[in-house]
Amino acid sequence: MEIRDGDQVTEPGRTLAYELWCEMEILYADDPTAPEANGEVDDLRNEELFPPNGRFLIVYDDAGEAIACGAIRRHDDEAAEIKRMYVRPSARGQGLSRTILLELEATAIRLGYRALVLETGLRQPAAVALYESHGYTTIPNFGFYKQSPLSVCYRRELLPESS
């Protein structure tokens, strides 16, 4: 496995982000408040995903195939927001989400953030379990998903030794 920097508009990041959105559209198709159900995408601009404010990473398997991604962007003066956490179905169950999360936390610390925030959906129990098992606590919904009853938002304070 190898982690490399990438982005969401060129390959393979574009395809991974597209697969993520397709999965969300299916999971939340019956939720009229979910942007995915209406074919909308969030407001994440590619330039937000580069240092000094963010990072987009892609995980490659031993054969060189892109199998997962994750990103952070600036949320406010002290926190970064986790975005685009996705592992292809064929690569799930190998701990890649935890690997991505740890790498994003380490990146956030290097970029000077003191906390991470994120949004996930209640129909994604594996994601909820990952974040809760890693010390993230619920906060009021924010941003793009503020009014979505199927969204849950989290925050975790970062210390240099927490990564």
pLDDT in tens, 107-148: 999 999 999 999 999 999 999 999 999 999 999 999 888 888
pTM for the predicted model, two decimal places: 0.91
Which class would CATH give 2-162?
Answer: alpha beta
Strands (DSSP E) found in 6-162: 55-60, 66-74, 79-87, 115-121, 137-139, 151-157
Q: What is the mean pLDDT of the chain?
A: 92
The residues spanned by each domain of the chain are: 2-162
State percent of the chain over pLDDT 70.
Answer: 92
Q: What is the per-residue pLDDT for 39?
A: 52
